[in-house]
Amino acid sequence: MGLKNFTRDDSIFANEAVLRDSYRPERLVERDKELSEYQEALRPVINAAPPKNIFLYGQTGVGKTLATRLVLKQLLNDQCRYDDLSIEVINLNCKSASSSYQVSVDLVNQFRNTCSKIPSTGYAGSQVYQMLWNHVDDLDATHLLVVLDEIDSIGNDDDILYELPRANDNEKISDTLVGVIGISNDFTFRDNLSARVKDSLCDEEIHFPPYNANQLRNILERRAEHAFRDGVLSSDSIPLCSAFSAQESGSARQALKLLYKAGDLARTRNDPEIAEDHVRNARDTIEKGKIQEELKSLPTQSQLTLFSLLQLEAEGRAPCKRSEIYQRYQTVADQTNTDIVSDRTIHNRIGQLRLKGFIQHDERNDGIHGGSYYLYRLDIREEIIRSALKKSESRVSDLLYISS
Ligand SMILES: Nc1ncnc2c1ncn2[C@@H]1O[C@H](COP(=O)(O)OP(=O)(O)OP(=O)(O)O)[C@@H](O)[C@H]1O
Ligand SMILES: [Mg+2]
């Protein structure tokens, strides 16, 4: 049949961009409490007092970045009413920075144009800080708010989170009052901050909890008004997307992705309506995609461990003990000409697979004499693992073809 013409007819979407992650809505729905806490924490700034430092945390997709954008936009607008204010904001996503040094270089470069940017190595840390303080002084602003989004990337190297919030107290910067807004979706990051950083960064902590199904439903309904043509959404599609996403993550990002994918499926199949079936299929497709990515990045020994449990599960032998998985693993490793590693190593692999959500375990207790032990089983549907493993282009995928 060859190539078809690209034609511009879309019976499902009115504007699909509204469902993309890059879309910037003008309102944050279902977050009144958090928004008011956020605005309260920033009140000193509008009162021309030194800012509080704010630490925002919550799982992925719960509106932290969007809330920050909207609240700061409002603050920048409202400052016009006061002659004695000149507030500046710097926004930095720290995802690709793995140290405080890199963050400070990136901050310096935010003040510089393309020709005068500094490289990410070569200067002493203290030099970079000095450049930063000079730039801030040159700003001639009354306040500077520095947003460090996804700040957990810097791990334990958290010096910048001490230096920045303390810049005024330590007399590094004189005229501009500096406030830091740190954002993280890694709960352990906050707990592991050094005591001096915790003291200075966390004047105010704002927690963004996961959304429940009702909240997700409201978020999706607002988006759907602009995204879809009239009458294409069946009455159960949004509630189902919301229920699935609330159950799995409470993330608005995930819910939007699911609704978008469901619409995409209806469009591809030329169906007039987005029905329950599209949502279920979309969920499977997304889940498979995610698992495939994860599986690809697993070391061979972990893939073999998972495959061993998959076989046991298919034979009705799971949940099973670790020793049974190890026994099966030895056979499977042998079939694929892979070195057989020790029981202890496979034990570690099982632990990692559990953390990644592939495997779950239940503790059993056989009384005083039997002692306690774990029984393992898959935590993801068999067919999804099977199809993901098939596409993983590893030795395990060869095994699957042999066994099917
Ligand atoms: N309350 C909300 N109302 C409308 N849209 C929302 C809401 N919360 C989240 N979203 C949308 O969900 C997506 C994720 O939100 P956002 O980027 O703010 O999450 P996040 O908490 O910063 O996540 P991460 O930790 O992964 O960075 C965005 O597309 C955003 O527009
Ligand atoms: Mg974010």
pLDDT of 361-401, one tens digit each?
A: 988 887 777 788 899 999 888 888 887 777 777 777 777 76
Helices and strands (DSSP H and E) totals, the chain: 17, 7
Amino acid letter at 43? R
86: Cα separation from own chain's centroid: 33
Q: Is the dihedral of CA 220, 224, 226, 227 positive or negative?
A: positive
For residue 208, give the ligand nearest its CA.
1
Tens digits of residue pLDDT in 273-329: 999 999 999 998 998 888 888 887 888 899 999 999 999 999 999 899 999 999 999
CATH number of the 32-207 domain: 3.40.50.300
Ligand 1 neighbourhood includes 93 CB (under 6 angstroms): no
Round the CA-based radius of gyration of the chain to a whole number and report it. Answer: 26
Cα gap 109→113, rounded to integer Å: 7
Tens digits of residue pLDDT in 183-240: 999 888 888 888 888 888 888 999 999 999 999 999 999 999 999 999 999 999 999 9
Alpha carbon distances (Å) from 98 to 51, 95, 150, 322, 357: 27, 8, 11, 37, 26
Whose alpha carbon is nearest atom 27 of ligand 1? 60
Strand-pair category, 372-378 with 359-365 = antiparallel
Tens digits of residue pLDDT in 344-353: 999 999 999 9
What is the atom index within ligand 1 of the atom nearest the CA of 69? 18
Whose alpha carbon is nearest atom 17 of ligand 1? 65
Cα gap 135→64, rounded to integer Å: 28
Ligand 1 neighbourhood includes 30 CB (under 6 angstroms): yes
Whose alpha carbon is nearest atom 18 of ligand 1? 63
Ligand 1 neighbourhood includes 52 CB (under 6 angstroms): no
> Mean pLDDT, the chain, as a whole number?
91
Ligand 1 neighbourhood includes 25 CB (under 6 angstroms): yes
280 Cβ neighbours under 8 A, 6+ residues apart: 240
131: Cα separation from own chain's centroid: 32
Q: Which CATH architecture group holds 213-294? A: Orthogonal Bundle (1.10)
Alpha carbon distances (Å) from 80 to 73, 175, 403: 12, 20, 70
Ligand 1 neighbourhood includes 60 CB (under 6 angstroms): yes
Ligand 1 neighbourhood includes 28 CB (under 6 angstroms): yes
Ordered by start, the domain boundaries in the chain are 32-207, 213-294, 298-403
Alpha carbon distances (Å) from 371 to 135, 283, 366, 367: 65, 41, 5, 6
DSSP secondary-structure letter at 173? -
DSSP assignments along 350-369, one per residue: HHHHHHTTSEEEEEEE-HHH
For residue 60, give the ligand nearest its CA.
1
Q: How confident is the model at residue 171 (pLDDT cuts 50, 70, 90)?
A: confident
Q: Please, which residues bridge with residue 389 across strands?
A: none
CATH number of the 298-403 domain: 1.10.10.10
Tens digits of residue pLDDT in 17-38: 999 999 999 999 999 999 999 9
- Number of Cβ within a 10 Å radius of residue 156: 11
Identify whether the C-beta of residue 277 lies closer than 8 Å to the C-beta of residue 270.
no
Whose alpha carbon is nearest atom 16 of ligand 1? 63
